[in-house]
Structure 1
């Protein structure tokens, strides 16, 4: 390597130069060369080469030093900590070869000249020649030094980068991965600092880090320099953007926007330490780091970088507080989700569980039970019991030696792109990060279950929960003429099902999103000023803190929640049922009691379509319509179909459709389809009239059975009479399917019965139903039942 130059400018480096300047720097050079012309901004800089590293090693006789200390460790004469300390000390006491030092300083002065500053502040980043490989990311193994200024400080930071090649965690990681310590060199990237100390920074992935869903970009953001996000020292803002709709610059397809606590930020400092952490202001904690336009800009860059590299990418970005410009400061291949087996689907289900002890962000998608081992300080890691569930405040690379011996990880702090999250994914561990209180509520030897199989939120349950795991080969699923779709309600868990080969979403329940994400009664937002419940008013103030217009909170939150469901199967249809709360359920929302009547039988009371044109709720329904408008027109999810529930009569249908038009939703306009639930006998009796007003029907078999047989489905006394396969119910279903086909309308069924009863699936296929929509855990069974039924009736045709 000694015939190579000591320094190369980024514009002279390509991604094929990993052996020369390491994975990080070769990627920076690649982007400067090829992506600058596509609008991706990368701070200018240069890289020292592997040759410069070996020259430093040879000039200070370090090869023998390294070899001797590693041999002593292998022989059991020295511990890992002693070995690492001795090698690092030797590096730090080394002297620079004069020509190498002169070349680095000359390049530094040239970088300052290009930036128009004499003593430029720079970021000094380590880039090992064995990092960012497909099966080994080496995330956080070597050091980065920020706000470095002047010749002496630069050379000292470079020396410390070299030493960081032999931190305890780096030595340990190379041993685990089978890399020869004396075959790995270190390059140093010297980049113009982005003034993110007075701006913001974070991490970005071009794939969902938990589920592997490849159609979203995930962005984490915090105030100040980016080290806090990477280390998990802050709970950052979290954004997700749907990639397929980014090509249309008129759209803002942001499907998640969660405000993080962002309690501290890293800024420039003076003296021996170039950076320090300070508390964020109340205003900073309450504000998003990025605007919607900046979120989408970063997401577009992520797709550009991913397309160029041909694989999912892990990137770091920084926003300059002076200029407002955003830069990509690192990009490397994502090494976990992109390597998973594409045709294998593993689904976890909690069957019985103890009380919730704490919650946080779920990492990994699995479930693990075991004993807690609480360790608050890295100096105590020798007390860790192998196979335990590690509980701690935060992790950094020093924790890796015990993380790889843990059954699961629970931390107080950190986001989805924190060190704990990244390493847990790479090690295949279940983790719940950012709980806020795990080290306070959990204790060593406590039996707990860590569940990351229930969506974005991870749960720590008391005791050992009962759960089951289904592992399915997706390539073995049969094809069917009858569409098999999913019932989805929880946006937080929607991405778990992206691999399921569904024909769309047959039922997305709006009320679930309102209950779990919006939480506030829409009329309490519309009539906020006249709200009498002061406690509810105070709670609404806290929930809507970032919204001057309270109703905008409802529209924004509802549309984003529904967007996550719409994204999973895009561009296949997603049928969203407008809210179908019963009055007692609506009253349970924040501020809801002032707007809901007391009813003896809410099941057949003021629910569904009757609410939408009523003075009691009409303004609330208008907010629902505006959320659908935003979802389709501003975010771009044209695959969304609207469905009206519990529509008792044709006259009621006309009233609802009129109100929808008044609120910007006209059937047929811009491809909008409107369906109606078939769950009341009148829907069957007047199916032809309903078909003239709607594009399709969805049979709600539970309510249709209840109202056909006059049986309360929740009555224990009448449980034996509730039967979706009763001949009267089947007559209803068969009749409405025939009427729908005759009228040229689509018709499907959403319910559990086809999964529980193969013969019911056979009955529906025999009637010629267009689609069957089931819960995700029932999908595979129903798909097979439908395929078997179709095989028995090969001549079956559908309208």
Structure 2
């Protein structure tokens, strides 16, 4: 018999001890030993060793039982369920070797002394010796037991952990991953409980789980013990933090705060045989964020410390003690999906036609799948599942994996991005919509649907089999260019999809998209909420702003965070945010907007752009926009944001707008603030030098400039042949603007579709010396190549010997 120790304390372990105590416990030891000095708190504890497991197996003569069971499974003599049950029963009937039992008892007594508590409550977690490796998550394969008290209960929980090494799902997973069952042992981690039953807990990733964007920390949070979040039994809060700005202690770079329903919480129970139980959360708990901003930032900083120490993206579990208010990390392991993707390859999907939207939830996986629904209530109904179907169910746990592996896509009623359904779907490469709420009521078996997870944070299930196409883009071989090639982005939810593109920044971020999709309320209706006459609008606003004492804070907060997601993607490169450029009819369509907007015959040339910002009709609304930008730059730390004023008709109007901005704390050149102007009106070109004295740069809006230069309605089918951005008059306008701006020391960019559609137009812009071109993400690669070719042609002309006609 080996004389190796039965028990090792966490502080004596490191990540090199996976073979002795499994990945989970080795990682806990690594953090206790090396990261507590950096402020990362980990609850104390100890681990039983792999040697202790094999002693238990040998002392009870179980090797033959296990080997015989797997021989029967391999030959087909017995099904998986019977083999697994027989092995588990044999383990549960085993007796502890005296030395193993004594070692566990003594360690538990010492842990009680350290906690200054008799029969201290502990968490008992399984840690397989092949667990938590970079290519295998073992998500939820073995059991955990919470609120275990007393030596007898602890030994029983350890025995049950041993048995859980042979659940059907654990056996299936090892077979799929090619692990030898007889070479995988189990260590048990015994850790002092964090009283998160009185506080909250959750999961945290040091990478965006859907896109692989490596500059954010994703945190999920729910009230009570953490099993509900891991298992997807609740819809948790979700927070995202931008990592590069965490070193600035005066900044608060929380770019997303989404309130989850959190319908139940797992708490302590008095029944020793069932030490935890789920109870409904209160209305206040459902409407309150689990973590405050200080907690969110503290956890995010710990995530960065842990990631830096391990040298890879990490998947962590955390808990907040409701008695002391302290935060703890209770598990940490390598992230196993996004961190292994090729960073230079980008797969882009486009849905050409789609049916009616049926349900929506959180998007998992960047893909589209179509198929027939197979609605299943329990993994026991596996025989009913049709290969290649869309699995629809309430929630999943590890017992569902055999079914999930056969699905084309997955849709669940409950769960967040860190739920079991989400983790396994990513690992299997399946698109999934989780936390859809009512999918099991709306969808039915046999129904043809399309699952789309390529439209941002929200995933959608559409009626029917949609037509879609995909394209794999290799960004590694793209040439470098002197002319900056930037992106036009509008949707914060989809912004992270494009982080792999080597863009030079964002040339146009449309504020109005954020307002219409993420805020939905007219800012003046928030500023004058009490005076609103429209009862329906007032009711809708009350619902949307329920968690905001000040209604205007809803607008500022949502707008700042929405823009922050866009500003984060290419930070520290510039991100040009255009202030709202709705037309009056579009403003009127916002909730509460009809009371504040005039009716116009021609809104395209009416009360839009700069003219609104100093007008009594909208001045208070513009003040809210300015406050959001100020929060984005000064409080959140995104000083790479440039402000742009649209549709500015005259220099007099420019002066008025700049004065109103200054009144609201946005002064050009203060704190490095740059202010650009859209060049989309002939007066902007004619007086380019005067405009350049007031603004740091121009962004040519080629659509509006073409429309107003040629006098052609760009939406008119009858005049479509006349609308030409390459018309000589339009090109003259563009060339004149670039020349005048550069003479005055201002920069010039262009945002429009023409460089994407016409390589010769891109060459014209390069020849004019434009500073940047901003295009849609799906056009970036072709435009980048066109620009590189154009720059090469221009260089050849300049470098050609005099009189060389071939050049």
Same fold at TM > 0.5: yes
Mapped to 1, the partners of 2:295 and 2:524 lie a distance apart of: 33
Mapped to 2, the partners of 1:381 and 1:308 lie a distance apart of: 42
| Structure 2 residue 361 is matched with structure 1 residue 360 | yes
Relative to the length of structure 1, the TM-score reads 0.99
Could you tell me whether the CA contact under 8 Å between 2:488 and 2:775 is conserved in 1? yes
Which has the larger displacement, 74-83 or 321-330? 74-83
SS at match of 2:325: coil
Mapped to 1, the partners of 2:382 and 2:197 lie a distance apart of: 32
Shift of 1:406: 1.2
* Residue of structure 1 equivalent to 2:250: 250
Task: For 1:601-680, list aligned pairs within 5 A.
Answer: 601-680=602-681
SS at match of 2:113: helix
* Residue of structure 1 equivalent to 2:802: none
SS at match of 2:693: helix
Could you tell me whether the CA contact under 8 Å between 1:2 and 1:54 is conserved in 2? no
Mapped to 2, the partners of 1:151 and 1:796 lie a distance apart of: 85
Shift of 1:328: 0.2
* Residue of structure 1 equivalent to 2:232: 232
| Structure 2 residue 125 is matched with structure 1 residue 151 | no
Task: For 1:25-44, list aligned pairs within 5 A.
Answer: 25-44=25-44
Shift of 1:382: 2.1
Number of residue pairs matched by the alignment: 797
Shift of 1:2: 3.1
Could you tell me whether the CA contact under 8 Å between 1:395 and 1:420 is conserved in 2? yes
Shift of 1:367: 0.7
* Residue of structure 2 equivalent to 1:113: 113
Mapped to 2, the partners of 1:104 and 1:578 lie a distance apart of: 64
Structure 1 residues 796 and 19: CA distance shift in structure 2, 3 A: farther
Shift of 1:795: 6.1
* Residue of structure 1 equivalent to 2:21: 21
* Residue of structure 1 equivalent to 2:140: 140
| Structure 2 residue 559 is matched with structure 1 residue 563 | no
Could you tell me whether the CA contact under 8 Å between 2:206 and 2:315 is conserved in 1? yes
| Structure 2 residue 526 is matched with structure 1 residue 525 | yes
* Residue of structure 1 equivalent to 2:451: 450
Mapped to 2, the partners of 1:326 and 1:299 lie a distance apart of: 12
Could you tell me whether the CA contact under 8 Å between 1:790 and 1:796 is conserved in 2? no
Could you tell me whether the CA contact under 8 Å between 1:223 and 1:262 is conserved in 2? yes
Mapped to 1, the partners of 2:337 and 2:13 lie a distance apart of: 26
Task: For 1:204-283, list aligned pairs within 5 A.
Answer: 204-271=204-271, 272-283=273-284
| Structure 2 residue 96 is matched with structure 1 residue 87 | no
* Residue of structure 1 equivalent to 2:415: 414
Task: For 1:224-623, list aligned pairs within 5 A.
Answer: 224-271=224-271, 272-623=273-624
| Structure 2 residue 699 is matched with structure 1 residue 698 | yes
- In the TM superposition, what whole-angstrom CA distance separates every residue of 1:398-417 from its partner, at most 9, and x where no partner exists? 00111111111111111000
- In the TM superposition, what whole-angstrom CA distance separates every residue of 1:538-562 from its partner, at most 9, and x where no partner exists? 1111101111111111111100000
Mapped to 2, the partners of 1:62 and 1:589 lie a distance apart of: 69
- In the TM superposition, what whole-angstrom CA distance separates every residue of 1:751-772 from its partner, at most 9, and x where no partner exists? 1110011111111111111100
Mapped to 1, the partners of 2:221 and 2:636 lie a distance apart of: 22
Mapped to 1, the partners of 2:264 and 2:299 lie a distance apart of: 23
Gaps of 5+ in 2: 799-807
* Residue of structure 2 equivalent to 1:174: 174
Could you tell me whether the CA contact under 8 Å between 1:768 and 1:796 is conserved in 2? no
- In the TM superposition, what whole-angstrom CA distance separates every residue of 1:705-724 from its partner, at most 9, and x where no partner exists? 11111111111222221111
Mapped to 2, the partners of 1:472 and 1:689 lie a distance apart of: 43
Shift of 1:151: 1.0
- In the TM superposition, what whole-angstrom CA distance separates every residue of 1:86-139 from its partner, at most 9, and x where no partner exists? 111111111101111111011111101101101100000000000111111111
Mapped to 1, the partners of 2:545 and 2:209 lie a distance apart of: 28
Could you tell me whether the CA contact under 8 Å between 1:49 and 1:188 is conserved in 2? yes
Could you tell me whether the CA contact under 8 Å between 2:379 and 2:403 is conserved in 1? no
Which has the larger displacement, 352-361 or 205-214? 352-361
CA RMSD of aligned residues (A): 0.9
* Residue of structure 2 equivalent to 1:97: 97
- In the TM superposition, what whole-angstrom CA distance separates every residue of 1:770-789 from its partner, at most 9, and x where no partner exists? 10000101111111111111
SS at match of 1:693: coil
SS at match of 1:72: helix
Mapped to 2, the partners of 1:227 and 1:112 lie a distance apart of: 24
Mapped to 1, the partners of 2:264 and 2:760 lie a distance apart of: 60
SS at match of 1:435: coil
Mapped to 2, the partners of 1:203 and 1:615 lie a distance apart of: 48
Mapped to 2, the partners of 1:543 and 1:505 lie a distance apart of: 29
* Residue of structure 2 equivalent to 1:70: 70
Mapped to 2, the partners of 1:779 and 1:2 lie a distance apart of: 63
- In the TM superposition, what whole-angstrom CA distance separates every residue of 1:293-317 from its partner, at most 9, and x where no partner exists? 1000000000000000000000000
SS at match of 2:350: strand
- In the TM superposition, what whole-angstrom CA distance separates every residue of 1:603-653 from its partner, at most 9, and x where no partner exists? 010000000000011011011001011000100001000000000000000
SS at match of 2:230: helix
* Residue of structure 2 equivalent to 1:781: 782
Could you tell me whether the CA contact under 8 Å between 2:698 and 2:749 is conserved in 1? yes
- In the TM superposition, what whole-angstrom CA distance separates every residue of 1:648-682 from its partner, at most 9, and x where no partner exists? 00000000000000000000011100000000000
Mapped to 2, the partners of 1:287 and 1:401 lie a distance apart of: 37
Mapped to 2, the partners of 1:123 and 1:470 lie a distance apart of: 47
Mapped to 2, the partners of 1:666 and 1:341 lie a distance apart of: 43
- In the TM superposition, what whole-angstrom CA distance separates every residue of 1:366-394 from its partner, at most 9, and x where no partner exists? 11111211111122122111121111110
Structure 1 residues 575 and 138: CA distance shift in structure 2, 3 A: same
SS at match of 1:351: strand
Mapped to 2, the partners of 1:557 and 1:4 lie a distance apart of: 57
SS at match of 1:198: coil
Mapped to 2, the partners of 1:468 and 1:73 lie a distance apart of: 42
SS at match of 1:2: coil
SS at match of 1:476: coil
Shift of 1:726: 1.1
Structure 1 residues 584 and 796: CA distance shift in structure 2, 3 A: farther
* Residue of structure 2 equivalent to 1:192: 192
Mapped to 1, the partners of 2:178 and 2:436 lie a distance apart of: 34
Could you tell me whether the CA contact under 8 Å between 2:168 and 2:399 is conserved in 1? yes
Mapped to 2, the partners of 1:342 and 1:710 lie a distance apart of: 46
Runs (4+) off by over 4 Å: none
* Residue of structure 2 equivalent to 1:53: 53
Shift of 1:796: 8.2
Could you tell me whether the CA contact under 8 Å between 1:766 and 1:796 is conserved in 2? no
Shift of 1:349: 1.1
SS at match of 1:794: helix
Could you tell me whether the CA contact under 8 Å between 2:123 and 2:145 is conserved in 1? yes
Mapped to 2, the partners of 1:425 and 1:405 lie a distance apart of: 14
* Residue of structure 1 equivalent to 2:742: 741
SS at match of 1:197: coil
SS at match of 2:476: helix
Relative to the length of structure 2, the TM-score reads 0.98
